[in-house]
Structures are given as C-alpha cells and as structure tokens.
Structure 1
Amino acid sequence: MGTVFLARHPRLPRKVAVKLLNADVSVDPDLRARFEREGTVVAQLDHPGIVSVLDRGVEHGQPWLAMQYVPGTDASRLDPRTLNPQRAVRIISEVATALDHAHSRGILHRDVKPANILLAAPEAGHPERAVLTDFGIARVLTSNTQHTSTGNLTATIAYASPEQLSGDPLDPRSDQYSLGCTLFALLAGHPPFAATDPGQVVAAHLVKPVPPLPRPDVPPQLNHVIARAMAKNPAERFGSTGEFAAAAAAALRGGTPVTTPVPFPPAAQPTPPSAYPVQLGYVPGQSQVDAPAARAPWGALCAMAFAVVIICLGRAAQGTGLPRLRHDMHASIGQVGWLNLIDLLAYTAPLLLAARLGDRFGPKRIQLAGLTVFVLGSAGAGLAASMGMLSVAHAIQGLGAGLVLPQLLSVLVRTVPPRQRGVAAGIWAAAWALGGLAGPFAGAVLTSTGSWRWTALAEVPAGLVALALTAAVPRLPRLRTPPDPGGHLIFGAGVVATVAGFGRADEWGTTGWALGVAGLLVLGVFALVQAGRTGAGTPGPSRIAALPSLATAILATALTAMIFLFFVYLEMEQDLSAEHAALMLVPAAIIAAVSAPIFGMFSDRVHPAALPAAGFGLLCVTAFGALALMTMHLPVVALAILGALGGLALGCTWASLAAAAARTLPSERPGTGAASYTAAWLIGSAVGGPVIGVLFGNRLRATGFGFGMHPGSSSLLDKYSTALSQTMLLPAGLLILGAIVSALLRRPRTASTPAGDPTMRPY
C-alpha cells in the first residue's frame, strides 16, 4: 500500500520518515482516505509515545506524510527467548500510556500489535523507548464515519478484539484487548490464538479461553492479568489500558492484581460501525510451528444443528399427514403434488443466495432471519383455511428453511481446522439423519392423535427454541466474497428444472423427465465450475471438491428410494399402519445420529475413501438383505434389525462424506461450497422419490400384477414381492456406484502459507 523512505528535512538538520502512498493504489478513494486519515488523526495527538506527523502533501498525484523518525526496530522483531518479562511489561506500559492519551481525545487505534510498536534505540542518558505508530485505521469515537476495508487487512485478526471481529460497537477496551494479545505475543513468540487458518483464529477470539504463557519465569498472576484484559465481555476488562499495565507490573512484583471489574467511564460513547472493519486473510509475521490449535465452538455448532433437526423433522413429518390434508381440504392429488413441489423449490432454489448472504452478513444473522420466517410460515401452514393460503405458507416456510440449512456447514468450515472437521461434520450428518428418519414417525403420531395441522403448529415452539439457541451463538465476521449473479442464476435454473421436472414427471411425462435431466446437467456444470474455483484457492485437482457432493447425491437418491420401498412393503404387504411403519425407522435414526460424530472422528485419522466406501458397502448389504427378506416373507422384526444395521452404515457414510466435503472448502469463502453440498443431498432426495415410484409401477405391470385380483391371494402377494425385490435392485446398484465414487476420494494437500505482509509498516 505504501513505502516509507528515510529522508532529510530540506531546511532543518534532522532526519524524517516519509511515507508515500504507492502509485498503483493512490487512485483508490478508500485507500487514499485511509492514508490521509492517519495524518488527520495523529495531528490531534501530542505525546512522546506516539509517532508525530510533521507535514503532508501530494507529489505527482501521490499523497505523502512526513513523520517523526524513530531509529531502532519494532517489537515484532524481539526474540522471546531473550526478552525478559520485565522488559515486555515496560514496553506495554509505555504503549498503554500512549493509548490512554489517544483515548482521552476520543481516538481508537484499532490495530495495536507488536509490528506497530517502534522501539527507539537507547542513547546516551536515554533508555529504550516504546513509540506507538500506524494510526491508519484509527477512528474518532464521536465521528459518524467509518473507515472500511478495501481488499487488504484493515486489522490483524491475530490481535483483534471479539467485538471488532463481530462488528459490534467499539470503545477503548477494544485496544486493551489487542494490547493484552501483544503482551502475550512478546513473551510467547506468537499470538495467543495462532493458527494457519484465519477462521480458526476468529473462532478462538470469540469463544476460546486465553491459554497460559508457556514460560516458567512468568508468574501465574500475570496470566490472570492478561486473561482479564482479554475477557470476551468488555465489561470484565480493566477500566483503562493504564490500569492493565499497572496490574501487569504488580503481578511481576508479586502483588495481587485487581480482580473486580472497574466500570468504564461513560465519557467516550462509541457510534456503531457502519461497515465491518476487518476482512479475513492471512495473519502475517507470526510463527505457525508451535501455535496452539483453535478448538471448534461445539456449543454453537450443536445449537445451529438443532435448527437443522427441526427443519428436517418438520419436512418429513408433514409428508405423513398429506392423506388427511387432502381429505380435510378437499384437494386433488395434483394440488397436493404442487404443494410438495412449492415447498421443495422454496428451500432448495435460494440455497446459494442464502449461503452468500451468510458470508456477507454473518451466518448467525441469516439463521436468525431464516428461523423467524420459518416459524411464521409454520404458523400460517397450521392455520391455513384453503389450499391457496397453505401453498403461500409452505412457500414462506420453505424460504425460511432455505436460509437456515447452509449456515451450519458454513460455520463448521470457518471455525474448525480442515484436518479436524470430522466430528463437526458428524454433528451435521447426525442432525440431518435424526430429522429425516425420525420425522415420519413424529408426523404419524401427531396426525393420528390430532390433525395434519399439528405437524406444522408443532414447529412453532420448536422453532422458537431454535431461535433462542441460535441467539446465543457468537457472531462471526462478515466475508467480502465477490458477487456472482451468473452463478446464482445458473444454480437456481438448474434446481428449478430438476425439482420441477422430476417432481411433476407423473403429469408431464417425457417433458418432465427431459426437464429434470437437463436440470441435472446444468447443476453438474455449475458444480464443476465451482469446484474449479475452489481448486484455485486450495491445492489439488477440482475433482477432489466435486466427488463428495456426487457421492452424497447418490447416497440421497438411494436412501430415498429404499425408504419408499420400505414403507410400501410394511404398509401394503405387512399391513402395518403408517405410524407403526414409521416407528421401524426410529432405531435407524437414533443409531445414525449417535454413530455419525464417532465415525466423523475416525474420518480425520484414516484415508478419506476408507469410511465412505465401507459405509456404502454396508448399505449394499442392507439393501440386498432387505431384498431377501421381502422375497422370503420373514417377520417384521428381522427387517427392523436390518434397518438398525442400515442406520449404522448411514452414520458411517454420511458423516465421512460430509467430512471429506468440508475439508475441501476454504474458510475464506465457504458459502458456495456449503450451498452446493447441501443442494446435492436435497436434489438427490428430490430425484429418488419419482424415479423409484415410476420404476416400481413399471415392475408391477411387468409381473402381471392386477388390481382386480383377490386381495388375499398368494399369487398377488408373490407378484407384489417380486416387483418390490426387482425395484430394490436400483438403490442397490446406486449404492455400488457410490462405493466406486467414494474410492476415488483423496485428502487435499495443505495449502501453502502465503508469504509477505500485506499490511504496511511505518519503517
């Protein structure tokens, strides 16, 4: 951004530092404003611990600042092995004095870090002196303007406060947090939350406790002082940076630091930032060798997963109430089919836009908005008086669900290291499995004991609980992802064509099938293009990113087909009620949900292809076992045991595929990948139902099954079982294909650490 030259004053015998804005960025109005802002802000400060600005001007269109020259080095170059705690605390104390001076004049620095602390070399009679510099992103508390990012880091996230990362209002306690990080870094050689992935760093600042300093010469009291200065809640920090420095000095002397929070003086009231001040990127100048790994915020992930369970549970539950709905609303089969189609389109088509909105405004905000819309739609669906009102309510409900569904995977990618995403991906898979497999039973119980309306109204209190849990989730910073209207259009067109084509193929015939296939081709092209873009940011071929989504789509198609045949067999051949048939899926749901995080944990330790291929193989055994049971007319208990085995296989396959997908998604732009992977499952589910229904009808006709035959005749049962077993060959074949695709999975290579420091140093 800028270059600093050592120069001589043209009229006085003194050296000055001249900072010149580079020509390639001097035409950028935001960068130019940031550069000029530094001169304006620092000119208001007169303190020996702050580098002073002597003059400014423009030369050949390039702005320049003439600044005080401080001979020496900066604090980032200090070796922690030779830096004793007393010197580190003295440096921090001098910087704290300078910060208090700036704060008293209503100015926040917002980028306190070792690289911005100059150490004036000792001179005759003068000891080393710490001088604070680089007020390029400083802000006046009373100003209504806010400097924004323009593509480079506007604050180093390794030293940024939680409120700065969350976009909350700032006050001087934000600089105190950064100064606490700086003291830790001076003594440890790395920031308190150092990692190669910026998403891990952000998550650690938001939820992780401050680790103790790894030095035996540091008293425990100093760790307590740093922890208080870096409290997540600003109200729990010291009343000023000077008070923090005094407590640190007292801790070194063996005194007891102040532990009662001091109320912050109300003199400086911040104005809410109008634009988010931090853009994610590489954290320069820090050692990555011994950096502590950030842990995922498991509570936040589980809270967001609960919302996914509610949505999947509700969608599956409403399907079991359709016969009663049709009777009560005097609706035709076609109207009910369109109701399903509207619901599916509403939450599938906007997935990509929802994920991008999560990147832009934060996944927490979008999930809260989505849950609010979902609850309103659920209430409307439960109270609808006509099919028209019900269709509108389902569209609103689906739109809310679409806003929510990609956010969990996006947060997972941004907060969990790539090689530790297995358990988190298992939580994601468990949420989908529990909601999708237990939903039919919940819907059957609600419908049989009350009404089909209960399946919608029950989602209102459940959605409110999900809202409360999501409200407690920490906010992640907004990401500046480039707009992609073309991608949104292609994705939406592919989804609409696929869902509408296959969903209405029974009415549209060949046109519907052709439209559905065309939609799949469009989505395939979109997936390959996006995988290529992902590949540009991470090493490895683009197929690494596309294969997990393809395998997941195959799994969804096969699973939907198997569940369809499962219900047909239990209700038609075993003469079970819908409630008892759905109950047979509950053990599989529980086993899949419990086992998914466990298999996810193991997926981090083995080859990416091992568990998915094994899971697909076990599902194949389940499918062929079900085929044999249907043919031999064995008791239902045997099928329940086989279903439990299928639940274990599903937990293994689903979690390991989700983990493989999550490892390929970059944390700096997770939205597109999260939406694409989520859509892969939903599209597979949308395709599986119509395809298996058509095939089953075809096999019934091929066996000579006739609806005029005597219901209790053995011939009818034999023909029915034959058609079922022949149709089961399709999901079995798909599972074999899924195993083959899974065998091609590879672990992506770790991205190389970018070199260079994109931030500008004063000297």
Structure 2
Amino acid sequence: MTQTTQHVQARTAAHDNPWPALFALCLGFFMILVDMTIVSVATPALIENLQADVNDVVWVTSAYLLAYAGPVLITGRLGDRFGQKRLYLVGLAVFTLSSLWCGLTGSVGMLILARVFQGLGAAMMTPQTMAIITRIFPADSRGRAMSLWGATAGVATLVGPLLGGVLVDALGWEWIFFINVPVGVLGFVLAWRLVPHLETHPHKFDWLGVALSGIGMVALVFGIQEGHQYDWSTITGWISVPLLIGLGLVLLIAFVIWQRFNRNEPLVPLSLFRDRNFSLANLAISSMGCAVTALGFPLMLYAQLVRGLSPTKAALLMVPMAIMSIVLAPGVGKLTDRVHPRLLTVFGFAAVIASLLWLAAVMTPDSATWEILLPMALLGTGSAFVWAPTSATANRNLPMHQAGAGAGVYNATRQVGAVLGSAAIAVLIDSRLAANGLDFSPSEAGAAAGGLPAAVLDPFSKAMAEATLLPALVLVVGLVASMFYEQARHLAAAEATPAAATAD
C-alpha cells in the first residue's frame, strides 16, 4: 500500500469519525497548557531551592509564554505548508525533551532557557490542533469539537496548579516538568496513529513580520516586567526601561503596517479580521489569557504565605473551578452549536469578573476556607462559558484554506494576552507590596517555612487582593467584545431556510 493511499484512507476515516483524532490532539494540547499555570503553585519552592526572587520565578513563566507567542503565527503557516500532523509531532517531541531538561536544571537561569525551548515546542503544536479540528469536522458539529478543545484549555489552566501542588509536595518541583515526559510519549504515539495527514497548501513566509513581531514583543514585555526592578529608568549604559517599551511599541506598530502593505503573503492576513466574530473573539480570548495567567501568582502567594498552606492544599482551593468547568463543558458544547454565541460568552465573562471581585474581597488572613471556595466555583462556571464558545466562534466562519492562519492568529493573541498578564502582575505585586509598606523577600520572610510573620499578614493579604483586581479589570474588555458577536452563519442559514420555505 502506498503512502498516498494510506493518507487518503486516514483522511476518510477522520471525516467518518474524527473524534479519536480530536482526543489524541487534546492530550498534547492539555499538557502544553498545563505548563502555562503549573509553575505558579511552585513559586515559593523555586524561590527557596534556586535562590531566586519573585521576579525571577515569574520569568520562568514569561519566557515560556514569549517563546510560545512569538512563533505561533508562522507555525500555523508551516502546518499548512508541510502538514499539520508533521508539525504537531515535531513540536510534541521538542516540548517533551525540553520538559526533561527543565527538571534536570539546577539554576533559575538554565530553567528559564529550557522553558524557552518548551515554548517553541508548544508554538509548533497549538495552531495545528485548532486547524485540524476546523478541517476534519463539518460546520454543524464543529462547535461540539471546539467545545472539547476549548474546555481542554479551560480545565488545563485550572488543573495545572492543582497537579503542581501535589507534585511539589510529594516529589519536588522538578516533577512538574518530569511528568510531561511519559504523557508526551503517549501523546506522540496516539497522534501518530489517530491523527490524519491532510492536504497541504503552498505558502510564502513573512520572515520580516516574524522579526518585527518577535523582537517587538520581547522588548515590550521585558520593559514592563523589569521596569519596577530598575525604577523605570536606566538598565545598563544607554538602554533604559522607557526606551525598551517604546521600541517594542514601535516595532509592533511597524509589524501591523507591514502586514497591511505586504503584497506577497503576510504573516497575519488582515483580511481575517473582516470577519467580525473572528476579530471580537481574538480580543476576548486575549483578555481571558491575560486574566487567567495573572491570577495564579497572587492567589498562590496568598494561599501559601498568608494561610500557611502546603502547595497541594493551596492548589486544592482551585478544585471547585476544575469541577464546575468539567461538569459544564459537555452542555456548553451542545449549546455552542445551537444558540447565539453572545448569550453564552456574555454570561461567562460576567461570571468570571464577579468571581474575581468576590475573591479579592475575601482574601484576608482570617477568612474561612469556604469563603475562598465559593468564588472559585463561580470562576469555573464562568470559564466554561468563555473558552469553548469563544474558540468555536473565532474560526467557524473562516474558509478552509485560512484555517492554519486563523488558528495561528487566534492562539497568538491568546498567548500575547498571557504574556502581558504575566509581566503586568509581576509589576503590580511589587508595587502593591511597596504601597502597603512591605519590602518583600520571600526567603527572608519565611516562604520556606510555609508562612509569613504575623505582623505582615494583613498588609500582604491586602496587596495580593489588590493585585487580583487586575485580571477582573482586563476581563471587562472581553465582556464588551462578546456583546457584539454576530449569529453564526450555519445557524443563520438554518433559520433562513424555513422562512424561505414558508414564503414559497
């Protein structure tokens, strides 16, 4: 049997029953998204064992997110050109090997470097998952498929800290990375066997666009995250924080202009944004990525240093989120194919915003555990109504030949939001601690012992609660964007058909 014949049979099988392929893809997707949030619960352990400070540990996450966000635009195109399955498998191999490297490192600098390679592997994988789903599922069932994909994203961001807490307590921080190795091997085998080879399309590659967007994002994020450390002035020589931030903004503006005037094949086809739902969904998901990434740091520092909880017990505070998201995901998926997306996402964003405001109000040294768990449950409920409907809405109306580009842009905007959230929360935590009269050094303040001195519990709790308001504020952008979604085309067509028949 020739390879071409095998590919044809694989495509036919995928279209007859594409669900096994989807489950294989979701396993790898779940793994890479868990690594976006799993580090937050290990923050005190990393500070103690690697002799690092809070900003260094935040860079462990930021480096991953930056390496993830930068190339994800072009890796979507590479999947279109060389095959989504091939790019997915290469990315999974890079991610798995880099995870092993992360666990074997002995310094925060080497851990940050290893996380960069992890992020590159994740960037190769993510656009392929969304593009393959778009291509192997018909429009009328794509919402259910995207609901599983979107629910995977939501559950991963919730389960990450819980899994991280168990591993840090039982085996050490290294195991939050070692655990990826057997999962990665299993995911590789399943994807190799179950995911079909799909038709490829020739593409030209916008390397200038890659350089402008990548350098611009690194400069902007580095300037934001390191600004407080350098008093927003000179870093070294003639390089200053304002210069880096300004350079980043200029390069990103130049990137957008170049995309507008590039007559060959731009990295981001601006024509994608003519679809109203695609544009709004990108704005909405970037705010969600920003909020979820930012939330983990103040919450875990509060839980472990104020409440004196172990990493596992701190992560258990997030169980209600995971439970609500998992329980609601199937029902939300069915609704995504049947009702206007605005109805689902407006409720979801409103619920998440309310949960964060509620959480900030109860982040005190003497609050009861149930007072923390209730807003967490509301957060999980809202998340279920954001991730899946937003993912399905983004790409549902795009033509098949733009599936890779659309998936790349969507995932890039989500990751850009996460990167900015990671950078901004580091600055905000430092500033709120200073505003509350604390010059905080976790190792000196008792992070290793699992708590802070009694005298600083109140101001530290207040600082973490104030930092938690940032994600709530950012999510207002997503709420407003979701108010303006249009009806999905397959639903509009279904409604128009009976009307036309009645008129006849």
TM-score range, shorter chain: 0.7 to 0.9
Cα distance in structure 1, aligned partners of 2:98 and 2:488:
41
Residue number in structure 2 paired with 1:712:
454
Distance 2:367 2:282 in 1: 36
Tell me which amino acid in the other structure corresponds to 2:14: V
Letter in 1 for 2:125: V
1:476 alignment partner in structure 2:
198
Which position in structure 1 is the counterpart of 2:94? 373
After TM superposition, the structure 1 stretch with the greater mean CA deviation from structure 2, 506-515 or 544-553, is 506-515
% same residue: 33
Instruction: Please state if 1:533 is matched with 2:282.
Output: no
* Matched residue, 2:315: 582
**Cα deviations by residue, 1:700-756 (Å, 9 ceiling, x for unpaired):** 44455577999435xx5554454444444433332233211110111365799xxxx
Aligned-pair CA distance for 1:385:
5.4
Residue 396 of structure 2 aligns to a residue whose secondary structure is helix
CA distance in 2, matches of 1:706, 1:457: 34
Question: Could you state the TM-score of these two structures normalised by the residue count of structure 1?
Answer: 0.55
Judge conservation of contact 2:134–2:395 (CA < 8 Å) in 1.
yes
Contact 2:58/2:426 (8 A) holds in 1: no
Stretches of structure 1 lacking an aligned partner (at least 5 in a row): 1-162, 178-201, 210-295, 536-540, 753-763
Cα offset, 1:500, TM superposition: 3.2
5+ residue gaps, structure 2, are 233-240, 261-265, 446-451, 494-504
Report the counterpart of residue 206 of structure 1 in structure 2. Answer: 13
State the Cα deviation string for residues 659-688 of structure 1 (Å, max 9, x = none). Answer: 111214321121221111112222211211
Instruction: Provide the rounded CA distance (Å) in 2 between the counterparts of 1:394 and 1:361.
Output: 26
Higher helix share: 2
Aligned equivalent of 1:684: 417
> Aligned to 1:401, which of 89, 98, 122?
122
Contact kept? 1:426, 1:598, Cα under 8 Å: no
Please say if 1:663 is aligned against 2:396: yes
Counterpart of 2:484 in structure 1 is 744
Question: 1:488-530 deviations in whole A, cap 9, x for unaligned?
Answer: 3343334333443334334453435545655665677689884
Q: For residues 546 and 493 of structure 1, do their structure 2 counterparts lie closer, same or farther at Cα, with a shift above 3 Å needed?
A: farther
Q: Report the CA distance between 1:429 and its aligned residue.
A: 1.5
> SS of 1:421's equivalent?
helix
Amino acid aligned to 1:563: G
**In the aligned structure 2, how far is the partner of 1:589 from the partner of 1:494?**
35
Quickly say closer, same or farther: Cα 1:303–1:335, change in 2 above 3 A. Answer: same
- Higher relative contact order (Cα pairs below 8 Å, separated by 6+ residues): 2
> Using the alignment, how far apart are the partners of 1:684 and 1:660 within structure 2?
18
Partner of 2:282: 549
Q: Return the alpha-carbon distance in structure 2 between the equivalents of residues 597 and 527 of structure 1.
A: 38
Structure 1 letter corresponding to 2:324: I
Partner SS state of residue 480, structure 1: coil
Q: 1:323-402 alignment to 2 at 5 Å?
A: 323-325=44-46, 327-329=48-50, 339-384=60-105, 390-402=111-123
Corresponding position of 2:498? none
In structure 1, what residue type is equivalent to 2:486?
Answer: R
Shift in CA distance, 729/373, structure 1 to aligned 2, threshold 3 Å = closer
Distance 1:457 1:478, change over 3 A: same
Separation (CA, whole Å) in 1 of partners of 2:105 and 2:308: 33
- CA offsets per residue over residues 96-116 of structure 1, 9 Å max, x none? xxxxxxxxxxxxxxxxxxxxx
The answer as to whether partners of 1:560 and 1:685 remain within 8 angstroms in 2 is: yes
Pick from 381, 391, 401 the counterpart of residue 648 of structure 1: 381
Q: How does 1:439-478 map to 2 (within 5 A)?
A: 439-472=160-193, 473-478=195-200
Pairing 1:560–2:281 present: no
1:500 maps to which of 213, 217, 222: 222
Q: Give matches, 1:172-211, under 5 Å.
A: 205-209=12-16
Contact 1:423–1:598 (CA<8 Å) still a contact in 2? no
Amino acid of the residue matched to residue 505 of structure 1?
G
Q: Is the 8 A contact 1:421 1:662 kept in 2?
A: no
Change (3 A) 1:645 1:638: same
Return the offset for 1:356. 1.2
Q: 1:336 to 1:515 in 2, by over 3 A?
A: farther
Counterparts in 2 of 1:692 and 1:483: CA distance versus 1, 3 Å: closer
The aligned counterpart of 1:133 is none
Residue 430 of structure 1 pairs with residue 148 of structure 2: no
Give the count of matched residue pairs: 466
Alpha carbons 1:437, 1:588 under 8 Å: kept? yes
* Aligned residue number for residue 623 of structure 1: 356
**C-alpha distance 365-601 of structure 1, shift in aligned 2 (>3 A):** same
The answer (yes or no) to whether the contact 2:216–2:249 under 8 Å persists in 1 is: no
1:490–1:673 Cα change, 3 Å:
farther
Residue 468 of structure 1, CA deviation:
1.0
8 A contact 1:531–1:546 mirrored in 2: no
SS at match of 2:115: helix
Please state whether the residue corresponding to 2:3 is helix, strand or coil.
coil
Matched, 1:694 2:422: no
Paired residues of 2:219 and 2:248 also in contact (CA < 8 A): yes
* Paired letter, 1:404: M
Structure 1 residues 687-696 or 408-417, which shifts more? 687-696
Q: 1:585 to 1:470 in 2, by over 3 A?
A: same
Distance 1:551 1:448, change over 3 A: same
1:151-183 deviations in Å (ceiling 9; x for gaps)? xxxxxxxxxxxx9xxx92459x98xx9xxxxxx
Q: 1:526 to 1:505 in 2, by over 3 A?
A: farther
Q: Deviations over 1:274-306 (max 9, x none)?
A: xxxxxxxxxxxxxxxxxxxxxx61111111010
Match of 1:168?
Answer: 3
Change in Cα spacing, 1:684 to 1:525, as seen in structure 2 (3 Å) is farther
> CA separation in 2, counterparts of 1:664 and 1:516?
32
User: Which amino acid in 1 is paired with 2:3?
Assistant: D
State how far apart, in whole Å, the 2-side matches of 1:725 and 1:388 are.
30
For 2:417 and 2:319, how far apart are their aligned partners in 1? 22
Evaluate the alpha carbon distance shift between residue 206 and residue 613 of structure 1 in structure 2; reply closer, same or farther with a 3 A threshold: same
Matched, 1:306 2:27: yes
Cα distance, 1:331–1:692 mapped onto 2, change above 3 Å = closer
Q: For the residues of structure 2 that align with 1:333 and 1:617, how far apart are their CA atoms?
A: 31
Deviates more, 1:297-306 or 1:722-731: 722-731
Query: CA 1:299–1:506 in 2, change beyond 3 Å: closer, same or farther?
Result: farther
Find the aligned partners of 1:693 and 1:372 in 2 and give their Cα distance: 31
TM-superposition CA deviations, 1:421-463 (whole Å, max 9, x none): 2212211122222222211222222222223222222211110
Map 1:90-109 → 2, pairs under 5 A? none
Q: Deviations over 1:65-85 (max 9, x none)?
A: xxxxxxxxxxxxxxxxxxxxx
- Post-superposition offset of 1:208: 4.4
Question: Contact conserved, 1:557 with 1:688, CA < 8 A, in 2?
Answer: yes
Corresponding residue of 2:474:
734
Deviation at 1:639, TM superposition (A): 1.3
Alignment-derived partner of residue 207 in structure 2:
485
For residues 685 and 310 of structure 1, do their structure 2 counterparts lie closer, same or farther at Cα, with a shift above 3 Å needed?
A: same
Please state whether the residue corresponding to 2:202 is helix, strand or coil. Answer: coil
Cα distance in 2 between the residues matched to 1:424 and 1:525: 35
| Partner Cα distance (1:576, 1:719) in 2 | 18
CA shift, 1:593, in A, is 3.5
Aligned to 2:325: 592
Q: Distance in 2 between matches of 1:569 and 1:421?
A: 40
